[in-house]
Amino acid sequence: MAALRDRADRSGPLAAKPSPPLPLGTEEDNTTNSRRLSFSAPSMAIVREETRTVRRASRGGSPSPAHDHVGHSSASRPERSTPPATPAESPSPRRTWSWSQLWQSVVEITRGARRNQNASERIDALEDVARLLPQPGNRGRVLVLAGAGISTAAGIPDFRSPGTGLYANFRRYGAASPMALFDIEHFRRHPAPFFQLMHDMLAETGGVLRPTPAHLFVRLLYEKGLLLPCYTQNVDGLERMAGVPDKLLVEAHGTFHRAHCAERHCRASYDAARLLQALQVGGAMQSPPRCERCRRGLVKPAIVFFGEPLPHRFRETLRADVRAASLCIVMGTSLTVAPVMYIPDMVRRDVPRVLLNRTPAGRIGARRRDGVLLGDVQHSVQRLAELCGWEADLGKLQRRYGAGRSALPDGDAVYGEAR
């Protein structure tokens, strides 16, 4: 240290001008060199240059001619013979990834995962619906929307079937248009066409209605604890006959189970059995029944005519039900009458929607988890019950209701809740 201090006094700071390297060979010389490297800024620059040289050499570049070892020039360092590397010892080239290549790989992996997930969530057959139904997350959360197509097997015509639908035969009843048959203002002025239509429907069924397998399947969903309210567009009361309880049934277009005055300022209740009996025997066409309270208004079944508001319960429960639904089953409807036609579109986008119908309907099929299963709805629900292991339960209900029941409401014997 004394020698270094003396040299520093004569030549200035160590960082300003390094001393020339000493020859290697003795421990003292090596120690002196290491001390010199520890305090010399130019020596650190040499180390950095040597590091860059080694990196260039490892990449296949030529080493820098200035320095190839710490503290030694390439000219003063003795040459060392290095055997040529064999092909096996040659370093393998490393694969370099650009950001675009890395991002493309992530995208491909994500797409593959989505394809696998979509394949497992597709609904292409009744087997897929049977797999979904018993899942614990569906308990009390299966929303059902039913239309006239589930009642045609009971002898009740639907509205829009070519040749047999009610709208195809409106001229038989002297109506100016199909809508006029169910228009409230037209009914107040000319009740005879509507009463004639009701008479023909009751005559066709013989006054006896039988719940179809589709109605009984809704009852099964209730018994299995899966049913969220069933929204029905039907006014025949067959869901009620099948044993679906009031608390889980929303009759969006009303029902024949009740009757009332058609005057908007009265709306007094009327005996529904008495009205339907008058319709069945034909007396209502000659002498339309009148309200017993206001003595002026005509009496009609409590079904929703064009120009009348939907039942309060429909507006009260719909928002909460579509939010709670985990599976939506649509049966026997063309989804052309607002606002019921919008119910399937109101459920969350991740909720599976299943259509059991003869033809496509609405926008079902536009979402990833939609299933459009076309065919006879009665055969479809019977097959679905079989796949779910409910075949015996459905058969028991069919035997119980096979004899049919009177279309005339007569208390709990006809319209009673499920026991």
Task: State how far the alpha carbon of 183 is from the alpha carbons of 8, 43, 236, 412, in Å.
Answer: 114, 102, 18, 31
pLDDT for the residue 66: 44
Q: Which residue has the higher pLDDT, 132 or 29?
A: 132
DSSP 188-221: HH--HHHHHHHHHHHHHHTTEE---HHHHHHHHH
- Choosing from 199, 253, 257, 260, the catalytic residue is 253
In angstroms, the CA 408 to CA 252 distance is 20
pLDDT for the residue 136: 80
pLDDT tens by residue, 362-380: 999 999 999 999 999 999 9
Point out the least confidently predicted range of 77-81, 207-211, 227-231, 279-283: 77-81
In angstroms, the CA 229 to CA 248 distance is 4
pTM (2 d.p.):
0.67
Instruction: Please give the helix or strand (H or E) that residue 231 lies within, else none.
Output: strand 227-232
pLDDT tens by residue, 46-64: 556 656 665 665 555 544 4
In angstroms, the CA 94 to CA 97 distance is 10
- pLDDT level of residue 74 (50, 70, 90 thresholds): very low
pLDDT for the residue 182: 87
| Cα dihedral 14/18/19/22 (nearest 10) | 120
Detail the residues annotated as belonging to a binding site: 261, 266, 291, 294
Q: Which residue has the higher pLDDT, 72 or 401?
A: 401
Domains plus CATH for the chain?
A: 2-65 (no CATH), 123-415 (3.40.50.1220)
For the cut 50, the answer to whether the pLDDT of residue 410 exceeds it is no
Q: Is 67 a catalytic residue?
A: no
Structural tokens at position 46: 């040499």
Average pLDDT over the chain reads 77
pLDDT tens by residue, 263-320: 988 999 999 988 888 888 877 777 889 999 998 899 999 999 988 889 999 989 999 9
Detail the residues annotated as belonging to a binding site for Zn(2+): 261, 266, 291, 294
Residue 180 is given by DSSP the state G
In angstroms, the CA 195 to CA 192 distance is 5
- pLDDT level of residue 414 (50, 70, 90 thresholds): very low
